């Protein structure tokens, strides 16, 4: 009597991360993130391959196997960045994995989390990547955000300075919806809720004016937010419209 063996079915969890090159040497890692387990704001890390072959990353999503694989393909991680005082939840896995990298964040973060800081007392501090990526520390913004500008690709990057919801790319591999009443129609460039959000985060208007104008002077066409879709073109105009109170 013959028997036939059957191969058991293995359920492999589907990855919910979307990795893509949005501009030459600029890669995004986008995935779902529901704030308070309810509000679909999405999350995103951004990695840039520098001219010397090393990698700069704004680390705002988990260090998944897919993320590690792509970073290994890009090069040696040299800089790990916290985009503001709240985008630090995933720093430790990156710090533990890439022990030779500089971990940099705003001055409000615990010294155990970061080795070097963006600070109001030294806004033009140099960390080693400035020839390729400029930065502007928003010390007057309550979230203590830092804006970045990758000159070669004309791309600006930020955490909570500008949203572009709904984050359809961030939820592209998820069964969850990126839409939520008011949130996803309001937290986008030029919208009233987005402008209100910025106003509520105002700590020092004069400082915010100086920093908003500095970013507006950058020659960027793309903007990569941590929350929502990448603004693929005319991003400088989107910035100017959204931050018009400070320009």
Domain annotation for the chain: domains and CATH numbers: 18-246 (3.60.15.10)
**What residues does 21 pair with on adjacent strands?**
27
- What does the pLDDT profile of the chain (247 residues) look like in tens digits? 444 444 444 444 568 999 999 999 999 999 999 998 899 999 999 999 999 999 999 999 999 999 999 999 999 999 999 999 999 989 999 999 999 999 999 998 887 789 999 999 998 899 999 999 999 999 999 999 999 999 999 999 999 999 999 999 999 999 999 999 999 999 999 999 999 999 999 999 999 999 999 999 999 999 999 999 999 999 999 999 999 999 9
pLDDT for position 6: 47
pLDDT at 14: 65
Give the separation between CA 74 and CA 62, rounded to whole angstroms. 18
**What whole-number distance in Å separates Cα of residue 30 and Cα of residue 193?**
23
Closest of 195, 189, 54 to residue 132, by C-alpha = 54
List phi, psi (to 5°) of 106. Answer: -70, 155
Residues in the chain: 247
In the prediction, which pLDDT does 176 show? Answer: 92
Beta carbons within 8 Å of 195's beta carbon, 6+ residues apart: 242, 244, 245
- For residue 124, the model assigns a pLDDT of 87
pLDDT at 108 (0 to 100)? 87
Q: Supply φ then ψ for residue 177, to 5 degrees.
A: -90, 140
Give the helix/strand (H/E) hosting 241.
helix 235-242
């Amino acid at each position: 009597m013959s028997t036939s063996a059957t191969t058991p079915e293995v359920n492999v969890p589907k990855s919910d991360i979307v990795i893509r090159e949005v501009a030459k040497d600029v890669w995004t890692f986008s995935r779902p993130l529901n704030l308070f387990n309810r509000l679909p704001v999405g999350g995103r890390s951004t990695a840039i391959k520098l001219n010397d072959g090393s990698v700069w990353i704004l680390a705002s999503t988990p260090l998944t196997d897919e993320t590690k694989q792509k970073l290994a393909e890009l090069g040696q991680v040299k800089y790990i960045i916290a985009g503001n005082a709240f985008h630090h939840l995933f720093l430790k896995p990156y710090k533990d994995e890439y022990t030779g990298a500089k971990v940099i964040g705003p001055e409000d973060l615990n010294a155990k989390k970061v080795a070097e800081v963006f600070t109001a007392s030294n806004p033009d501090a140099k960390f080693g990547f400035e020839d390729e990526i400029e930065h502007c520390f928003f010390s007057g913004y309550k979230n203590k955000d830092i804006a970045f500008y990758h000159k070669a690709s004309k791309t600006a990057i930020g955490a909570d300075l500008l949203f572009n919801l709904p984050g359809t790319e961030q939820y592209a591999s998820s069964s969850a919806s990126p839409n939520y009443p008011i949130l996803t129609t309001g937290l986008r460039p030029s919208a009233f809720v987005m402008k209100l959000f910025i106003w509520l985060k105002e700590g020092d208007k004069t400082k915010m004016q100086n920093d908003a104008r500095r970013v507006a002077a950058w020659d960027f066409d793309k903007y990569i937010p941590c929350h929502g879709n990448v603004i693929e073109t005319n991003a400088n105009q989107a910035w100017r419209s959204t931050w018009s109170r400070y320009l």
